[in-house]
Amino acid sequence: MDAKFKSLDDIHVSGKRVILRADLNLPVANGKITDHTRLERLLPTLRELTEKNARVIVLSHFGRPKGRDMKQSLAPIAAALEQALGIDIKFVSDCIGADALAAAQTLQDGKILVCENLRFHEAEEKNDPDFAAQLAQLGEIYINDAFSVSHRAHASVYGLAQKLPRAAGRMMEAELRALASALEHPRPPVMAIAGGSKVSTKLELLNNIIPRVQKLVLGGAMANTFLFAQGKNVAASMHEKDMVETVREIMITAGKHGCEIILPTDAQLADAVKSNANIRTAQIADIQPNEMILDFGPESLARVEKILGECQTLLWNGPLGVFEVPPFDKGTVEIAKFAAAQTQAGKLTSIAGGGDTAAAMNHADVMDQFTYISTAGGAFLEWLEGKTLPGVAALAG
C-alpha cells in the first residue's frame, strides 16, 4: 500500500477511543436489508479493533434525509451489525452533543458504539468545520474504512480526518491496493470493459483509461453510440446522436495510444426491453427498424473471451447488456464467469466496480472469485477518471 497511508498495523489502539467512518448506507426495501455486502466487508476492521481492545465509535450516513427523519435512522442497521458480530453494540440517538459525548466517553475497552445518522445534520455534507470539531471530540484516533464515500468532501470524511491521528481501515486498504494494481502498475496486456447507457457520463473515464489499456470492450447503449458514429444502423436502439463527433475523437485518441476498441458484431435484438418480447440473435447489420440491441451475441462474446484469455489485467465498469432483464443478462454473466475462472487459475488480475457493476457481478455469482469487486459507486468511477478523492487525500500525511 502507498507509504503515505497508515494502516491498522501502524497505530496503537488499545484503550483508545477510535472513530471509525464506515459506510452503513445499505439498500433497504420494506424495512429489510436487501444487500449485506458493505456490512460484511466492514466486519474484519471491527473485529480487529475490538480484539485489540479499542473503544470503537462508528459514524455513518444512511440515505438522504432532510433533517431528522426517523425512517432513515441507523438503529436498524446497528441491530444488523450486532447480529453479524454476535456482540452487544450500543446505539446513541445523535452523533454530536452531550448524549453522544457521554456515550463515547463511558465506552469500555473492546466495545462498539454506533452513532445516529450523520446526515441528520446538514453541516455534514457542507464539511462544516465546527461540526467536524464536534465529531472529533468523540475520539482520539480516526480510521476511514469507507472508500465508497471518499469522493465526497464531507465533514466526517475530510474535515474530521485532519483533526486526529488517522489511518485506513482494512477495507479501505484492500480497495486502494486493488485499484493501484489495476491502474498504476498493471500487468499488461490490460483489458477494460466499459458499459452503461451514456458516453456523455463516461467521457472522463474513457479519456483516462484509453492511454493505460490495450483493449477496450464497450457495452450497453454506449456501444450503440460508437456503432452509430461508425455509420452503422442501430435502428430503435438507445444512442446519443449528439455525441458522434466526440466518439470519433475518442476513436482517434485510442488509435494513437494503440488501444483497440472492441464493439459487438452480433447481438440479442428485441422489439421491447421485456423478457417476453420478440427476441432473436442476429448480426447487427441485419437489425430491423423496430429492434433494439440489448446484449452481445454469441460471436461477439466468443471474441471477447478469446482476447480476454490473452490479457493479464481486467478493469470492469458497467454491464454489457440490460442485465436486469433476462435473457439480456447472458453476455455480462458469461464474461463475468470466464473472467472469474481466469482469475481463479492465476492468469488474470480482475477488478470490477462502480454503478451497477457490483450488482451485476453478484447476479453472475462471482463476487468472491474476482481479485477485487468494489462496492463503491461514485468513488470508484472518480478514481477511474483520475481524480483525487478528498477522503483518500485526507488520510495522507
Mark whether 38 is an active-site residue.
Answer: yes
Give CA angle at 274 (271, 280), nearest 5°. 50
- Is residue 297 part of the annotated active site? The answer reads no
| Residue 215 is a catalytic residue | no
Tell me 274's DSSP state. S
Looking up cell 433476462 gives 326
Burial of residue 205 (CB within 10 Å: 0-12, 13-18, 19+) is buried
Cross-strand bridge partners of residue 288? none
Query: Would you state the torsion angle of the CA atoms of residues 219, 310, 186, 391, taken in this order, to the nearest 10 degrees?
Result: 30
Active-site choice (198, 280, 303, 347): 198
Reduced to 3 states (helix: H, G, I; strand: E, B; else coil), residue 55 is: strand
For residues 183 and 194, is the Cβ–Cβ distance under 8 A? no
Q: Is 354 a catalytic residue?
A: no
- The grid coordinates listed for 258 are 494503440
The CA-to-CA distance between both ends of the chain, in Å, stands at 14
Closest CA relative to residue 329, chosen from 373, 368, 365: 365
Whether 95 contacts 58, CB under 8 Å = no
Neighbours of 211 (CB within 10 A): 12
Residue 375 gets the label, from left (phi > 0), alpha (psi -120 to 50) or beta, of alpha
Catalytic entry in 196, 220, 355, 391: 355
Q: Is the dihedral of CA 128, 133, 136, 137 positive or negative?
A: negative
Inter-residue contact 56 to 113 (CB < 8 Å): yes
Bridge-based pairing of strands 55-59 and 32-33 is unpaired
The catalytically annotated residue of 6, 17, 38, 55 is: 38
> Catalytic positions, please?
38, 198, 355, 378
